Amino acid sequence: MAGQSRGERAKLPVLIVLHQEHSTPGRVGHFLTRMGYALDIRRPRFDDPLPATLEQHAGAVVFGGPNSANDEDAFICREIQWMSVPLREQKPLLGICLGAQMLARNLGARVFCHVDQHAEVGYYPIHPTMEGRAAHDPWPDHVYQWHREGFDLPAGATLLAKGGEAFPVQAFRSGPAAYALQFHPEVTYAMSCRWTTRGAHRMALPGAKPRPSHFADRAVYDYSERMWLQGFLERWLASGDAPAASAAPKQEALRRAASAMPAREAEAVTAP
């Protein structure tokens, strides 16, 4: 069904790949359901199969989990290899945290722990690039993180957002429709309560935020992250409509993004 329009794809479910028995897709699931998409939830860790093609799906979201993309578990290796399916078919693919790291590995990039074992657990600043602003704007100032590994930018991928010195690559796009997010825009208040309770030991890692700051910062930053996610998902699903945008609209988007950036940053970027 290579010629499907967005309207036709809206009748198809979105594949949801989760990694724990009781995990949920959180806000991503809420927004997709409101947009009219059914959710086809699979848990490969518990032997759920992944489809050989995404012809019967509007796209796929691969979520986070406690594993590492460097683990040799059979399901991790299968998922990394499976990501070649949506990449080859140019169907919308979104990796979040572990899912983003698996996408990076599929594309040949390194996934690593910080040399001083630093982690990002809580809210941290994020800085969209000009290409990131052209893809979707405005971005939130801070995003919710829960990870102790990061990844390099894959060869040929477009950097969409930068983080701090410990984990500088926070979001990228590969091809027209594959996106990776190191952070967790899907986390609801209930999920945050569970994570900070069951995963309390993670907050003892170097660089992690204490539990009270998770909720104090949530009151400040959550609204903008939630609004960003809703708009991002709409743009992401539309990214599978055509293999590539025409040059003129892309250049206009880049021009608008540059005008929204500080002059010094805009001058330092040359549009392709």
Calculate the average pLDDT of the chain.
88
Check: CB of residue 96 under 8 Å from CB of residue 142.
no
- Average pLDDT, stretch 240-245? 56
Of 245, 251, 246, the residue nearest 130 (C-alpha): 251
**Confidence grade of residue 257 (pLDDT, cut at 50, 70, 90):** very low
In tens, the pLDDT along 5-59 reads: 555 444 799 999 999 988 999 999 999 999 999 999 999 999 999 999 999 999 9
**Confidence grade of residue 263 (pLDDT, cut at 50, 70, 90):** very low
In tens, the pLDDT along 65-124 reads: 999 999 999 999 999 999 999 999 999 999 999 999 999 999 999 999 999 999 999 999
The pLDDT value recorded for residue 240 is: 78
Residue 227 has pLDDT above 90, yes or no: yes
Name the pTM for this structure.
0.86
| Alpha carbon distances (Å) from 92 to 2, 135, 152, 241 | 13, 14, 21, 9
The pLDDT value recorded for residue 4 is: 54
- Average pLDDT, stretch 139-150? 97
Of 127, 111, 244, the residue nearest 177 (C-alpha): 244
